[in-house]
Amino acid sequence: MQEKELRILSRGGQGAVTAAHILVEAAVAANLYAQAVPSFGQERQGAPVYTFARISQEPVESHTYVYEPDIVVVFDPFLMELGIDPLQGIKDHATLVINDKKLPEQLRGKFAKTGIVDAWGITHELIGNVPPNAAMLGAIAKTTGLIQIEHITQAIMNVLGERIAKVNAKCAQVAYERTVVSET
Amino acid sequence: MGKRVAISGNHSIAEGVRLAKVDVVAAYPITPQTPMVEKVADFINQGRLDAKYIAVESEHSALTAVVGASVMGTRVFTASAGAGLALMHEIVGVASGNRLPIVMGIANRSLPSPWSLQADHSDSMAERDLGWIQLYAASCQEALDYTLLAYRIAEEVRLPVMVCIDGFFLTHTTEAVDLPDQADVDQFLPAFERGDIYLDPDDPMTINQLNSEATFTELKYRHNEALNSVVDLFPHVAKEFEERFGRKHSLCTAVGCEGADVVVVTLGSSSGTARKVAGQMRADGQKIGTLQVSCFRPFPKQEVIDHLKHAKAVAVVDRSWALGTDGPLAQEVKSAFYSAGLNVPVYNFVGGLGGRDLSEATVKRVIGKALELKEQEEQALYPIWIDVKEEAK
């Protein structure tokens, strides 16, 4: 496997930084190398947040943001209304993982592979009004096939506090099952 | 043997502190160092580190407290960043002048002004000539390993060490890190032994007293001799580290330098980025090398000369806003070259200031500009600001 670079588009408070950390934990459990790079600034809840990750069979050398992602993860499709473009810099044959009920019109036919998940719906159904990050992790596992869902749920159990770990792991599992993956 | 975990650079240094069985910690939180000292406090709270944590009211007090604790014969840790390190400035010289083996984690953050929470090396560079050893890590694994090397070297030469990691690009970046077993660390790092300077009511001595011109120069001379001895000591300690933990560390790490058209010289987290870019360019048939300088103080002049002497040009990237002259890394490289009588063009590039990403594209621009200058046989007297926006010019 060549190194895969991810760009995660979210808002402050949606848990993308924690999700990226959990992704690295899961990758390590899967005997891979990985890296999560948050782009911190002076943050506010609701403001756009870019988070980056790399997954590789070799130790990751680059310590920069990701400008040409293999995989784009959209936690919040309404970010596109702010002019944030999930297509920016994507590599050929890129993969999209998006939290939505259906694929937005402007993204149709642009990605080689898409995974669509109603992460808010699933999270609301299983937990309540909390960040959709666990569900998005399940969708990433299903769509990309880079990390097994068992490693994701185990990483959630390791990283999150006991009180919330189990229900979040369940959330990832259900999102994994319900993510609709299509290839063009 | 050990285990692989997913942790940040801040957490990696904290693990090093735990494994080193530090006795006393005093620190004042400051972004982006805060999670480092929070993690150390967690370890103490969980009973995983048997240490005294002194909560202080400022960075000046934090370093002063560990100076006191070190003189009392304990292994100590503190950490800071940016303006916090600047507030320690007075005591930075006290710690090294009294030959105290303090280890300090630095989460590199730009000095004000303008205010920034984010990475560059202007904070630690402002302290570079005060007689501390300075190590700059390029990954979370190096952050942990350098912390262990730091205690070992500090206690052998009786000098303090700054372990520097770039704010956010290392402090808040999570990576796979191999965590050694405690038993192996105990073998590598023996129990703390106090040096010649100590406070003991049964054996009183005056320390840090006023010195006249009769002794000042000699004390500073010995301080300098001890600091420079690290260039010879480091490889021996690193070899022992490699035998025990299987990971190789060097004063500086060269890849593809022999006969390179351009060698890119870096400090800190951009080193891996430069290696990746240069590796891709070599695969395309271009002769591009990299040199990561890990130990900035003492500056390993001979090693740098040996690695760079057969390069056709050298591009030094400074992530510091040293104004009015070359960046500190370029000053060192040029000085070493002149001492060795080398006539290789050295171009200085300033970039990645105040948290600006030193991206792969920026590294490519550095290489492209260096090749162009070499081709045109041009010398650049002052640094080239490689990632400045046109609108500022």
- As for the ipTM of the complex, it is 0.96
Q: Which CATH class is domain A4-183?
A: alpha beta
pLDDT band (50, 70, 90) for residue A45: confident
pLDDT, one tens digit per residue, over B289-326 is: 999 999 999 999 999 999 999 999 999 999 999 899 99
Per-residue pLDDT, averaged over B351-365, amounts to 98
Query: CB–CB of B276 and A62 under 8 A?
Result: yes
Per-residue pLDDT, averaged over B200-212, amounts to 93
Q: Is a pLDDT exceeding 90 seen at residue B185?
A: yes
pLDDT, one tens digit per residue, over A131-177 is: 999 999 999 999 999 999 999 999 999 999 889 999 999 999 999 99
Question: Residue B86: what pLDDT?
Answer: 98
> How many CB atoms within 10 Å of residue A27?
25
Query: CB–CB of B361 and A67 under 8 A?
Result: yes
Q: Determine if the pTM surpasses 0.90.
A: yes
* Averaged pLDDT score across all residues of chain B: 97
pLDDT, one tens digit per residue, over B9-50 is: 999 999 999 999 999 999 999 999 999 999 999 999 999 999
Nearest residue, CB atoms, A63 vs list B176, B273, B361: B273
Question: Residue B379: what pLDDT?
Answer: 85
Question: Residue B1: what pLDDT?
Answer: 62
Pick the closest to residue B66 from B129, B143, B125, B154 (CA basis): B154
B358–chain A Cβ distance below 8 A for any pair: yes
Query: Which domains are present in chain B?
Result: 3-245 (3.40.50.970), 252-392 (3.40.50.920)
pLDDT band (50, 70, 90) for residue B111: very high
Question: Residue B25: what pLDDT?
Answer: 98
The DSSP annotation for chain A comes to ---EEEEEEEETTS-HHHHHHHHHHHHHHTT-EEEEEE---S--TTSEEEEEEEEESS-----S--SS-SEEEES-GGGGGGT--TTTTPPTT-EEEEESSS--GGGTTTSSEEEEE-HHHHHHHHT-SS-SHHHHHHHHHHHH-SS-HHHHHHHHHHHS-HHHHHHHHHHHHHHHHH-EEEE-
Question: Residue A43: what pLDDT?
Answer: 65
Chain B residues 269-288 within an 8 A CB cutoff of chain A: 269-270, 272-273, 275-276, 279
Q: Is a pLDDT exceeding 90 seen at residue B51?
A: yes
Q: Is a pLDDT exceeding 80 seen at residue A42?
A: no
Q: Is a pLDDT exceeding 90 seen at residue A87?
A: yes
Domain residue spans of chain A: 4-183
Residues from chain B that touch A155, judged by Cβ atoms under 8 A, are: 6
Please name the residue of chain B whose CA is at the shortest distance from the CA of residue A66: B359
Per-residue pLDDT, averaged over B115-131, amounts to 97
Question: Residue A24: what pLDDT?
Answer: 98
Q: To the nearest whole percent, how much of chain B has pLDDT over 90? A: 97
